[in-house]
Amino acid sequence: MSNSLEGGTEETAVDVVIVGAGFAGLTAAERLVNMGVSVLVVEGRDRVGGRAFSGEVAGVKVDLGATWVARRHTAIRDLASRLGCTTTSQFDEGHNVLWMDGQRSTYTGTFPAVSPEAVEDLARIQMAVAELTSTINVDSAWESPDAGQLDAISFGEWLDQQQATTSTRALMTILTKVQWGCSPGDVSLLHALRYIRAAGGVEHMLSVEGGQQEERITETTQEIAVRLAERLGDRVVVGAPVRRITQDDSGVTVSTDSKVINAKYAIVTAAPSHRADIDFEPALPDKAEGLAKTWRLGTLSKAFVAYEKPFWRSSGLSGEALTDTGTVFITFDVSPDDNGPGVLMAFCDPRVFDGFNPADRRRRVIDQLVELYGAQASAPIDYVDHCWGPASEPFAPGGPNPAVAPYASVSYGSALTEPHGRIHWAGVETAGEWAGTMNGAVLTGQQTAERVAQRLGKRADTGAQ
């Protein structure tokens, strides 16, 4: 891996230039290299991994971005295991804490049982969601039956129409904040249904055992990307934002501040809204422009608080909490074991977090952990946080997923994957199956590489090196 600042302006020629060194870009590169195609991956940040990014708290490596892999996420798991990364089960023993309507209670299982009526209402809404998701075509949701109607209202408006109770709404708000980094009123019902279907349903999305939160990557998710980039060597250049892509009948030219790369094809893995930061010549068609302008990424922030020991475990608590008020809205226990530092991972609402200075952010999180876990939570030994909004991530901010407002799926969704001449699109947003997950990102990288390789007259690759 090299840094673009190390050289002056230079011109390079390869078969395929890949924009972005997240999971989609790196796996596209790996697959093409395995087929004998020459590649260069250009990444705007000074690191690889994209939305997978590691930090450290009390000497424990933590995931500031993507964390979990489900058993069904076989593409990312295969990649991790080929690169010598291992998985750790998400700690899930004991009671979970619920903070709702100013009341603290505990529960077990995926969904809190606030009252028999609340359980019944949640089941009713889940069934209605399941019925609607069964009609969604994940590869092109905008072509699903009733797509126009489903895209004309927000998930929040639909919950209103269904007369969802306060507790059901609170849970769906938590799901929306963690999945799309926004409120239910900000995301189209069609878009929400597409992601829920792609993620295997609400229960799979929210569960630990047998669900999306079942396991973490022990070495951190970014470490998978770091190891893959190491294998790709000088084919990966970081600190090189792509400013301009021009093309004609013979090829594409990709320009960064210090490099000009000539190639036969380009694969762009930037999230749709970041495509808009690149100057394309010829310009993108109207639909693709519309996509780049409307499929903005939501935002989510995370804090990690370390204690001498995971003290909550000895009180029979799992470290999992759901809250409907304040800054923190979910917590999980990501401690290495019973004896080492205890680490709580807290998902924070950027609207009441990102704008504060680091000391205030820390205080807000710890105050809330005291409400959830008691006075012992007031004495942490270390703290780290990360905001995915533009304050901490000036380049390509946002995540986990696009918060697509009503009408923008039907109007622009087809532009997600439609090539623009010699420019092909990959990245998790282009995934059908497993959209929204690292697994989806890996699949799109590999599949797009296969399509481009075919155009270059190469034989399909089977995967592993």
Question: Looking at beta carbons only, is 241 or 406 nearer to ligand FAD?
Answer: 241
Minimum separation from the CB atom of position 121 to ligand FAD (A): 28
**Residue 116: C-alpha distances to residues 109, 322, 465 (Å):** 15, 18, 54
Question: What is the closest distance, in whole angstroms, from the C-beta atom of residue 326 to ligand FAD in the complex?
Answer: 18
Answer for the pair 369, 346: CB distance below 8 angstroms, yes or no: yes
Comparison of 350 and 406: residue with beta carbon closer to ligand FAD: 350
Under DSSP, the state recorded for 63 is: E
CA distance 298 to 187: 10
Tell me the CB-side half-sphere exposure of residue 280, using CA atoms within 13 A. 20
Q: Pairing between strand 10-13 and 259-263?
A: parallel
Instruction: Tell the smallest beta-carbon distance from residue 248 to ligand FAD (Å).
Output: 21
- Measured from the CB atom, the residue of 60 and 75 that comes closer to ligand FAD is 75
Least Å distance, CB 37 to ligand FAD, is 19
Q: Closest distance between ligand FAD and the C-beta of residue 439, in Å?
A: 6
The Cα 203–Cα 265 span in angstroms is 40
Nearer CB in complex with ligand FAD: 87/106: 87
Triad 251, 256, 257: Cα angle to 5°: 145
The structure tokens listed for 52 are 């997978």
Smallest distance from the beta carbon of 363 to ligand FAD, in angstroms?
21
Going by C-alpha positions, the residue among 71, 106, 31 that lies closest to residue 434 is 71
Tokens 């799309």 found at: 180
The minimum distance between CB 181 and ligand FAD, in angstroms, equals: 8
CB of 348 to ligand FAD, least distance (A): 10
Angle between helices 438-455 and 23-34 (to 10 degrees): 40
Residue with smaller CB distance to ligand FAD, 341 or 427: 427
Number of neighbours of residue 9 by Cβ within 10 angstroms: 10
Cβ closest to ligand FAD, residue 200 vs residue 241? 241
CA separation for the pair 406, 404 (Å, rounded)? 7
Residue placing its CB nearer to ligand FAD in the complex, 241 or 432: 241
CB hemisphere CA count around 90 (13 angstroms): 24
∠ Cα 408 414 417 (to 5°)? 125
- Which residues contact ligand FAD by CB under 6 A? 19-25, 42-45, 50-52, 65-68, 241-242, 269-271, 274, 277-278, 300, 302, 388, 395-396, 399-400, 427-428, 436-439, 441
Residue with Cβ nearer ligand FAD (12 or 162): 12
